[in-house]
Chain A
């Protein structure tokens, strides 16, 4: 028991656990939309693009959440505009935008005399460096994202399944999509310190993909995904404490294991039920088994 609470003796570990839990739940819940709307690449794109914002914020001495937030939201909206108006395929447009912004970040960083360890931590995440004001910022943004998502729950659900009919019925589907992209941008910003730019997309996609294997309705999928996210985040953080490993990488590895466990469980269950119906056919002589 002492082992379990040992990390909590340190204030920085307390902050890390609060951050991990929030990030795990929020990313995974929002990931439900990412997976169902097939936006995985957008998550990765926004995360990478925000690196330019982080570097600019660092060079100008402004808060990194402001810098990264502005760039991430602009990128998200630009992706939405290109998607609606552009004649370029969506993944091409994202590819151009995010690599460009990411390169700008690296370019600006490389011109600095002293290489900053701070900036590197954003690439791979350093949850132990989360300060007190960071936690406040993360809590405020997480509450904001959760509130807006709850308010838009029905339009987000309908436009995820059938945006055309939703719009015909009078729902402003393009506006809902723009708001979702901004919510995803904020979610990613919140998560960068915990898991890093390179791995945040995994936390948006993997728990939701695991939950998709095991559920048949939207709300249970979102709930299960959030639970998986919390489990990965807290479990991964514990493991990284004892294994002295990178917190972001450990959290994502937890998620990967959960995904394959969920997939295997579903496959086995399908095989078992297929086997059962085959046996029923052989025993009963019925001919119309699926």
Chain B
């Protein structure tokens, strides 16, 4: 079986900062791979490079065998952190989720019955159907995160990338999102997701990766956490105090 995502010797350098220094791993279809690592370990950079938002300085990223930007529109859904957008934008929950359909529709496609059904299904999956008409500026953090995930689902992507979707959300939202992700994975979706939450890693992910600009450990979540790879870099990060921007 060929991998859904294949990353080899990935180096991403900003002006003076090396965000990723040779990361290699793969994500298989029907697998959720979790990424843990301290701030500045390159988690967001990695997700953005796999999404085709950043160009590798060297090394390769292949999604279904192709460069991310060479895939058909709608192939990759990226769920950013909720503070990355201005929620005062004039849109309802429905409007924001409907945007997930736009890439597929192209310029001339009609927003038809199929699109409406996809938006409705996505809203129901994250349990936001009753708030479809609410203005997005009136949502809580957990509800905003649900909207982002619903928009990604409405896109019907081949690959789902999530950047710390459980940070700053309530327990009910976290559990709802976990069930959504697990059901997508059960249907064969490859998922790559960063998180700070180590305690529930085994419930979220099939495999876990410890990242600190390189892949320090990857494998079964419980074994990886027991191996001490993560606590090791944590102390390292503390003593050296390296706070890098991503």
Contact = CB atoms under 8 A, between A and B. Distances in A.
Interface of A: 36, 151-152, 154-155, 157-158, 160-162, 164-171, 212, 215-218, 220-221
Contacts of B71: 170
Given A168-B52, A212-B90, A218-B91, A162 B99 contact: yes
Contacts of B155: 169
Nearest to B92: A217
Interface of B: 51-53, 71-80, 84-86, 89-92, 95-96, 99-100, 102-103, 105, 107-108, 135, 148, 151, 155, 157, 161
Nearest to A171: B103
Nearest to A154: B102
Contacts of A158: 99, 102
A10 to B, nearest CB: 40
A124 to B, nearest CB: 33
B52 to A, nearest CB: 7
B197 to A, nearest CB: 23
Nearest to A161: B89
A216 B75 contact: no
Nearest to A153: B107
Given A158-B102, A170-B74, A218-B89, 8 more contacts: A162-B80, A166-B103, A167-B53, A168-B161, A169-B73, A169-B155, A171-B103, A218-B95
A171 B107 contact: no
Contacts of A157: 99, 102
Contacts of B103: 166, 169-171
A162 B85 contact: yes
A164 B90 contact: no
B90 A218 contact: yes
A170 B75 CA distance: 7
B107 A169 contact: no
Nearest to A215: B90
Nearest to A211: B90
Contacts of A170: 71-76, 103
A171 B74 CA distance: 9
B85 A169 contact: no
Contacts of A221: 90
Given A36-B90, A216-B135, A164 B99 contact: no
